[in-house]
């Protein structure tokens, strides 16, 4: 906390509110005393509200910076695996080789699904949305953690979720594709094993280092992103004392929303609607025309005002995969649209650069993952961040149950 205060005069009250300074220099005014005076603040959507103290993730949207536990995302994507990142987020420090091996062994030994979960997933209608299936699958695992919230419960749930979520997601993907699920293998890395499970017999992507690297980077880039909608949902639910599985289900439900987790799917749908390279110029003109509802999906970002650092990382991987997929109309479209948008002054002036959703959607398509299942991969990655926030809330920076106020604008008291 800094020595400075903010002075507020409201009604008959003259208040001095403490100002907290974050590690990276942001300032937050502590307004906790207002509630004791019957005065509340209004900030719909929480655009200027800090809900907690956190040590997990830092974003500087103006400068295009993202870090996990102080490590720049560029270094993590280049030098670590997703499991190392999951360990870092959860424990606060990067693992030693012994610690990483122990975690990997625990995950390998727990990746198979209980028969009850497998039966439940098998019984779901094929037309059920993949995220609905994921909600159901994760809910069915809650018996693994039917004890009150505790440090041990959170530790156990972390291993069970990170181990079993790939198998649940692979089961759903293969159900959507109407293909058989290949059983998990204990001799493969985390990302390679997932690709093995969703690959066809005649083309096993787990044997291609480029695809394994691409998936691992996608998981790393999506593992954590501070107090977004789904993470906030997880923290709100966890503040009630529910077990970890219950809180994670809240996050999955929030991520299901198209405004949060469906951006890469929307990007692929946009490319499909364009249809052909020759249609790109007219599409670009429609985007510029304010009288139309045409939007350029996969470009720009609500938080990053300069550029999305995750997009810069994944761009080269995407291009390498596109080079291996020559002749694919969708991918040729993507390359051409990217080239035009990056050189057009209209988009340059508005900072409408390709974001991580543009590139990740293309890569996931190349992996044979249906668009309706893209958000599953987002959830698979983000679970490690969600669990880290649950642990932090319980052990490091606890606070009472989350209970926002409101500005009531309904009817005054009246007789019925």
Q: Is the pTM for the entire model greater than 0.95?
A: no
Q: Looking at residue 85, what is its pLDDT? A: 99
CATH topology of domain 5-50: Rubrerythrin, domain 2 (2.20.28)
**What share of the chain has pLDDT > 70, as a percent?**
99
Mean pLDDT value of segment 388-406 = 95
Residue-range domain boundaries for the chain: 5-50, 66-257+382-395, 263-366
Beta pairing, strands 27-29 & 57-60: unpaired
Determine the Cα–Cα distance for residues 398 and 250; give it in Å rounded to an integer: 19
Rg of the chain over Cα atoms, rounded to whole angstroms, equals: 23
Q: Looking at residue 380, what is its pLDDT? A: 99
> What is 66-257+382-395's CATH number?
1.10.580.10
Q: Is 289 a catalytic residue?
A: no
Q: Looking at residue 11, what is its pLDDT? A: 85
Taking the CA atoms of residue 105, residue 107, residue 109 and residue 113 in that order, the dihedral angle to the nearest 10 degrees is -170
Q: Looking at residue 258, what is its pLDDT? A: 86
Q: Do 164 and 110 contact (CB within 8 A), yes or no?
A: yes
The CATH homologous superfamily for domain 263-366 is Cytochrome P450-Terp, domain 2 (1.10.230.10)
Q: Looking at residue 404, what is its pLDDT? A: 94
Q: Looking at residue 374, what is its pLDDT? A: 96
136 or 263, greater pLDDT? 136
Segment 1-46, tens digit of pLDDT: 567 899 999 988 899 999 999 998 789 999 999 988 999 999 999 9
- Of the listed ranges 31-45, 73-87, 123-137, the least confidently predicted one is 31-45
Segment 119-128, tens digit of pLDDT: 999 999 989 9
Segment 273-330, tens digit of pLDDT: 999 999 999 999 999 998 998 989 989 888 888 789 999 999 999 989 988 876 678 8
CA 25 to chain centre: 25
Q: Do 104 and 111 contact (CB within 8 A), yes or no?
A: no
Q: Is 357 a catalytic residue?
A: yes
Active-site annotation holder among 216, 301, 308, 389: 301
User: Does the fold of domain 263-366 match that of domain 5-50?
Assistant: no
Contact partners, residue 127, CB within 8 Å, separation at least 6: none
**What share of the chain has pLDDT > 90, as a percent?**
74
Segment 197-244, tens digit of pLDDT: 999 878 899 999 999 999 999 999 999 999 999 999 999 999 999 999
Active-site annotation holder among 222, 225, 308, 357: 357
CA distances, 202 to each of 3, 31, 206, 226 (Å): 66, 61, 12, 40
């Amino acid at each position: 906390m800094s020595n400075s205060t903010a002075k507020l005069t409201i009604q008959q009250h003259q208040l001095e509110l403490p100002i907290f300074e974050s590690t990276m220099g942001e300032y937050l005014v502590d307004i906790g005393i207002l509630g004791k005076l019957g005065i509340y603040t209004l900030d719909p959507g929480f655009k200027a509200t800090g809900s907690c103290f956190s040590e997990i993730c830092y974003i500087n949207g103006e400068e295009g910076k993202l870090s996990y536990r102080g490590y720049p995302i560029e270094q993590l994507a280049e030098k670590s695996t997703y499991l190392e990142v999951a360990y870092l987020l959860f424990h606060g420090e990067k693992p030693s080789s012994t610690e990483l091996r122990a975690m990997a062994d625990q995950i390998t030994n727990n990746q198979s699904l209980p028969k009850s979960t497998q039966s439940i997933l098998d019984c779901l209608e094929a037309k059920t949305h993949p995220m609905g299936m994921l909600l159901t699958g994760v809910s069915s695992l809650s018996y693994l953690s039917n004890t009150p919230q505790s440090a041990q419960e959170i530790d156990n749930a972390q291993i069970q979720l990170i181990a079993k979520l790939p198998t649940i997601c692979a089961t759903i993907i293969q159900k959507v594709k109407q293909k058989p699920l290949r059983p998990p293998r204990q001799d493969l890395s985390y990302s390679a094993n997932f690709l093995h499970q969703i690959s066809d017999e005649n083309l096993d992507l787990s044997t291609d280092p480029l695809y394994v690297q691409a998936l691992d980077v996608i998981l790393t880039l999506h593992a954590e992103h501070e107090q977004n909608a789904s993470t906030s949902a997880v923290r709100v639910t966890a503040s009630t004392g529910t077990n970890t599985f219950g809180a994670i289900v809240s996050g999955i439900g929030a991520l299901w929303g198209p405004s949060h987790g469906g951006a890469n799917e929307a990007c692929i749908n946009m490319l499909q609607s364009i249809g052909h390279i020759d249609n790109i110029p007219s599409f670009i003109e429609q985007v510029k025309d304010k009288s139309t509802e045409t939007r350029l999906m996969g470009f720009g970002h609500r938080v990053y005002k300069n550029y999305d650092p995750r997009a810069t990382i994944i761009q080269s991987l995407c291009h390498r995969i596109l080079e291996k997929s020559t002749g694919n109309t969708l991918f040729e479209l993507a390359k051409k649209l990217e080239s035009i948008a990056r050189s057009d002054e209209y988009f340059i002036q508005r900072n409408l650069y390709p974001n991580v959703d543009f590139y990740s959607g293309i890569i996931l398509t190349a992996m044979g993952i249906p668009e309706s299942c893209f958000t599953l991969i987002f959830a698979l990655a983000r679970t490690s961040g969600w669990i880290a926030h649950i642990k932090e809330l319980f052990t490091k920076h606890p606070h009472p149950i989350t209970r926002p106020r409101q500005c009531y604008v309904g009817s005054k008291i009246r007789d019925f």
